[in-house]
Structure 1
Amino acid sequence: MKKSILIIALVLFGATTMSAQEAWNFGIKGGVNFANFTGDDFSSDNSRTSFNVGLLAEIPLADRFSIQPEVLYSGQGYEIYENDQANFLDVDDNVEYQLDYVSVPVLAKIYLVDGLSVQAGPTFNFKVNEEIDYQPTQDGGDIDNPYPGAQDFEFGGAAGLEYKFNNGFFIQGRYTYGFSETFEDLDIHNSVWQAGVGFMF
């Protein structure tokens, strides 16, 4: 069911893109994630540093108001041990719980002044990878299917600021939060700060 929802979202994104090319602006973006968990049942002081990358479109609806759908790959989770804490595991690097999503934000975008906008809206996140990695900067060290596994789908929200230059280049900062529980029946939620750049065609 969750895969069907994702496929439908991607098809609609592509179909509407083709039908509205003159009115829409399209772009690519990428950046850094500082991801963690928060909630009554678990929280950590060690965030996982990862990345996000993807495509977006801006649909103008009024002079200073647009809708901005996106499709992103977002690396999330948290850092289990820092380097100096991982010695007893006989590893040479940090240990990360890696929980990655294909994220589909649909954001309202309001321009405060020329170039500067505030964005907010829901995100629909589909889990595509889950593992523990005790060599996150190398090819090895992956432990698949940690228990308990995270839920396959997450409903969340995002809010942030963006500044777009006249040449189409933009810089962006954003916070995303998972409203639904990351693990069934546990008060644990994804919490991610994002910073990035992109280009609007």
Structure 2
Amino acid sequence: MKKNITLLFISMCLSFCLLAQETTNSVSGGLVGAANYSRFKITDRGSLPLESKWKWGYAAGVFLNFPLGNVVSIEPQALYSVVGSKAELSGIESLDQQLGYLSVPLFVKFHLGEYVALALGPQFDFKLSAKDKLTDVSNKDDFKSTSIAGTGGIEFFPRGRVTIYGRYIHGLTKIEEPSTTAPYLYNQAFQAGLKFKLFGGKKKVTPPPPPPPPPAPVDSDNDGIVDSLDKCPNQPGTAKYNGCPVPDSDGDGINDEEDKCPNQAGIARYNGCPIPDSDGDGINDDLDKCPQEAGVAKYNGCPVPDSDKDGIPDSEDRCPSIAGVPENGGCPAIPEFNATNIQFVTGKSALTAASLRELTEIVEYMNKYKEIKLEIAGHTDNVGKAASNQVLSEKRAQAVKAALVKRGIASDRLTAVGYGMDQPIEDNTTAAGRARNRRVEFKFNQ
């Protein structure tokens, strides 16, 4: 068996030499040197408290790389690899095993650019030697002649002459011969080393010199359009007109091909025609909602609307559907009546019978104009305390509101407000002045 393995190793070395002569530039090969850090992985200790320890070793050999493109390549290697393991039994070193293999990993490599590659694949190990270093005795018969492992790692500068690599080796088959007492042992190792490329790889190809530049085309008028394509070679123009100037008969800046009124100056918005304004109100027809009737810009070219024809435009008319007066913002005028005739029982908020008759005009007014809302403002003179007058003015305003509601006016059309003695209309120093200040006023509240 050892003779066959040796012959295999020699034949692979010879094949490298032959391929070095026959291969193309894309195939490469060289030498490998590495350090191993290994141990036996124990999966079934049985009754033995055996602890595996790491051990240093080495590896050396050759490699061949066959690229399958710019990214993937196949790389077999043939290495003489020394691995092994130390072991302790109950804390006492009981084993220092060394194994020598012809290791044949078969890698599939993935190049991640010029500087990094990933490699993985199976490894086939053929036993060459086995020795217990503690006793210096060969125990080759205790281990199987072949084993299989999975391996994978990373390479740096994989396309260079010197490559740095590291990989992990994980045994997939048991390495010891069957025994009733021995645990299950598998090889386990880390390997780091260098690869030295001796031949092959990509050669730097010198690109052919670029062809001489063609002669510069002639452009007599320097308009950026060469004479061979310029219909007006001696007159600067634009590419749109094949080197000729843009025609513009009416001089409005819009060329004749796009100008719907080529002989009448206009603007681009109207395709070269003047702005149309049919009703002459200064608002062009495109923006004029009443193009045949003069109007104002505020109403988009239409006349100012006045629905109730009271001379107050709807936008300013608080009662646009009822003719009114400017003082009330376009709403009808409130009937005038003698506010001093709205009298109350002395010191109270109850209306006198005469006062109730004064409210008739207000009732008629509100029945006529259903949209109108009024504020009933109660006022007092300055006799008495301000707080008392305030309360009294509010109660009297509420009394007037109640009287109007009783006569059929909806409550939500009336607002009662008391102002106390804060808004006099006459001097409170005279009896006549105080009488006029004791009043109820109606204000438009639309």
Under a length normalisation based on structure 1, what TM-score does the superposition of the two structures give? Answer: 0.79
Q: What SS does the aligned partner of 2:143 have?
A: coil
Structure 1 residues 200, 61: CA separation in 2 closer, same or farther (over 3 Å shift)? same
**Counterpart in 2 of 1:133?**
133
Instruction: Please say if 1:79 is aligned against 2:86.
Output: yes
Instruction: Please say if 1:49 is aligned against 2:56.
Output: yes
2:23 is matched by which residue type in structure 1? Q
**Counterpart in 2 of 1:34?**
37
Give the one of 178, 187, 197 matched to 2:184: 187
Structure 1 residues 6, 65: CA separation in 2 closer, same or farther (over 3 Å shift)? farther
2:124 is matched by which residue type in structure 1? F
Give the one of 74, 85, 88 matched to 1:67: 74
Q: What SS does the aligned partner of 2:184 have?
A: coil
Give the one of 137, 141, 147 matched to 1:143: 137
Once residues 131 and 45 of structure 1 are traced to their aligned partners in structure 2, the CA distance between those partners, rounded to angstroms, is 17
2:191 is matched by which residue type in structure 1? Q
CA offsets 1:153-180 (integer angstroms, 9 cap, x no match): 1112211101126641111110112211
Structure 1 residues 164, 15: CA separation in 2 closer, same or farther (over 3 Å shift)? same
Q: What SS does the aligned partner of 1:11 have?
A: helix
Q: What SS does the aligned partner of 1:114 have?
A: coil
Contact 1:123 1:155 in 2 (8 A): yes
Instruction: Using the TM superposition, give the Cα deviation of residue 17 of structure 1 relative to its aligned residue in structure 2, in angstroms.
Output: 6.0
**Counterpart in 2 of 1:104?**
104
Q: Which structure would you say has the larger Rg? A: 2
Instruction: Using the TM superposition, give the Cα deviation of residue 117 of structure 1 relative to its aligned residue in structure 2, in angstroms.
Output: 0.5
Structure possessing the higher relative contact order (Cα contacts under 8 Å, 6 or more residues apart): 1
Once residues 120 and 10 of structure 1 are traced to their aligned partners in structure 2, the CA distance between those partners, rounded to angstroms, is 25
Instruction: Please say if 1:21 is aligned against 2:23.
Output: yes
CA offsets 1:79-132 (integer angstroms, 9 cap, x no match): 236xx956xx9xxxxx62101111011110111121211001111110011011
**Counterpart in 2 of 1:138?**
none
Instruction: Using the TM superposition, give the Cα deviation of residue 4 of structure 1 relative to its aligned residue in structure 2, in angstroms.
Output: 4.3
**Counterpart in 2 of 1:118?**
118
Once residues 8 and 61 of structure 2 are traced to their aligned partners in structure 1, the CA distance between those partners, rounded to angstroms, is 17
Once residues 69 and 159 of structure 2 are traced to their aligned partners in structure 1, the CA distance between those partners, rounded to angstroms, is 19
Once residues 72 and 117 of structure 1 are traced to their aligned partners in structure 2, the CA distance between those partners, rounded to angstroms, is 20
Instruction: Using the TM superposition, give the Cα deviation of residue 76 of structure 1 relative to its aligned residue in structure 2, in angstroms.
Output: 1.0
1:175 is matched by which residue type in structure 2? Y
Once residues 166 and 104 of structure 1 are traced to their aligned partners in structure 2, the CA distance between those partners, rounded to angstroms, is 21
Q: What SS does the aligned partner of 2:112 have?
A: strand
Q: What SS does the aligned partner of 1:192 have?
A: strand
- When the two structures are aligned, how many residues end up with a matched partner? 185
RMSD: 2.7
Runs of 4+ in 1 over 6 A off after TM superposition: none
Q: Which has the higher strand share?
A: 1
2:112 is matched by which residue type in structure 1? L
Instruction: Please say if 1:178 is aligned against 2:171.
Output: yes
Structure 1 residues 53, 59: CA separation in 2 closer, same or farther (over 3 Å shift)? same
Structure 1 residues 13, 66: CA separation in 2 closer, same or farther (over 3 Å shift)? farther
Q: What SS does the aligned partner of 2:142 have?
A: coil
1:133 is matched by which residue type in structure 2? K
Contact 1:71 1:104 in 2 (8 A): yes
Structure 1 residues 30, 162: CA separation in 2 closer, same or farther (over 3 Å shift)? same
Instruction: Using the TM superposition, give the Cα deviation of residue 58 of structure 1 relative to its aligned residue in structure 2, in angstroms.
Output: 0.9
Contact 1:54 1:70 in 2 (8 A): yes
Structure 1 residues 33, 98: CA separation in 2 closer, same or farther (over 3 Å shift)? same
List runs of 5+ in structure 1 lacking aligned partners: 90-94, 135-140
Once residues 80 and 155 of structure 1 are traced to their aligned partners in structure 2, the CA distance between those partners, rounded to angstroms, is 22
Once residues 8 and 33 of structure 1 are traced to their aligned partners in structure 2, the CA distance between those partners, rounded to angstroms, is 23
Structure 1 residues 66, 166: CA separation in 2 closer, same or farther (over 3 Å shift)? closer
Structure 1 residues 72, 121: CA separation in 2 closer, same or farther (over 3 Å shift)? same
List runs of 5+ in structure 2 lacking aligned partners: 199-446
Q: What SS does the aligned partner of 1:18 have?
A: helix
Once residues 145 and 2 of structure 1 are traced to their aligned partners in structure 2, the CA distance between those partners, rounded to angstroms, is 15
